[in-house]
Amino acid sequence: MVTSRSLVSPGRAVPVGLMLAAAISACASSEDTPMSDSPPEVIADSLIALWIDSLGGMETYEAFRSASYTITTVIYDTLSGRTRRMRPRYVWIKRGPDGQATRVERWEGDDFITQGFNGRDAWATMNGEMLPDTAKDWREVRYVAGDLYYWPGLPYKLRDDGVFLHYLGMVNRPGAELRADPTSARQALPDDGYHAIAVTFGENVGDHQDAWAYYFAPGEGFPTEVTYIEDGRTDLNRIIWGPTERFGGIDYPFVKRRDWITESGKRTKALVVSEVVINPEIPQEMFERPEM
């Protein structure tokens, strides 16, 4: 496995990458065929470059300053396929003076939760009252803020310093196709396999060392599936990507839906994006800790 963007010392990225490669290799086809005679690092870079180019190039991301959107978590019953519950979150993100800023508002029963991060400091309130920094909603702010900023930033953020791309060859995806009807038969996967890229991070990049993999059908600019292993865990999470829609005057791309599925293809969860506004004017005060 060859690293293509060794811009900082890889630190923990190598062992995490090896763990992910081992998980994926169990699903590899019997005849792994390279995309070309190019070195693995060139193939990895070219696949990400194709994805970026298909979205309008890096200038699209450079023109992105802020966004507001609603992201709704939908939980499914794997036996019937029916929706069990839904939870919307109302999100604002912005490139602020201190870095990536995020604000999230949501309901938990009768309680209204607000979480904020201004690029330096995190905070959280419940029903307008400041929560202590030991509260779960406060402790998870940085992870939530990074997550809600990271997803709209793909694939551009795969060009960040300290991001390592590892081409794993032509492999099968780790399980069946998405089964919207859980009573349907297990669907077969294509025989020709997918280009797989593992993504790991340098020692000082981000708050977690999650390990990711992206699966590209030959000739396709967008990934069909994304998988990840959370830092400190070994179970593989599978995500099927839905269509990408462009918004605002800069045609900024958002993936409108992502489905989490089991190895057998049953849907367990979806994240559905709606009400997207690109580059709205968002006061910096929205991300700052309120005075109490």
pTM of the model: 0.84
Architecture of domain 13-30+54-287: Clam (2.50)
d(CA 194, CA 49) in angstroms, rounded, equals: 17
Average the pLDDT over 193-221 and give the result.
84
Q: Tell me, what's the pLDDT at 47?
A: 95
User: Cβ(248)–Cβ(61) under 8 Å?
Assistant: no
Residue 276, both tokens = 């997207």
Inter-CA distances, 110 with 106, 126, 128, 172, 177, Å: 10, 10, 13, 45, 38
Element (H, E) at 52: helix 40-54
Residue 30 neighbours by CB distance under 10 Å: 6
Query: Exposed, middle or buried: residue 88 (CB in 10 Å: 0-12, 13-18, 19+)?
Result: middle
- Tens digits of per-residue pLDDT, 95-139? 999 999 999 999 999 999 999 999 999 999 999 999 999 999 999
Would you list the domain boundaries of the chain?
13-30+54-287
Q: Which residue has the higher pLDDT, 186 or 241?
A: 241
- pLDDT surpassing 90 at residue 284: yes
Predicted confidence (pLDDT) at residue 3 exceeds the cutoff of 60? no
Locate 4 and state its tokens: 């293509």
pLDDT tens sequence across 218-247 = 988 999 999 998 878 889 999 999 989 999
Q: CB–CB of 291/103 below 8 Å?
A: no
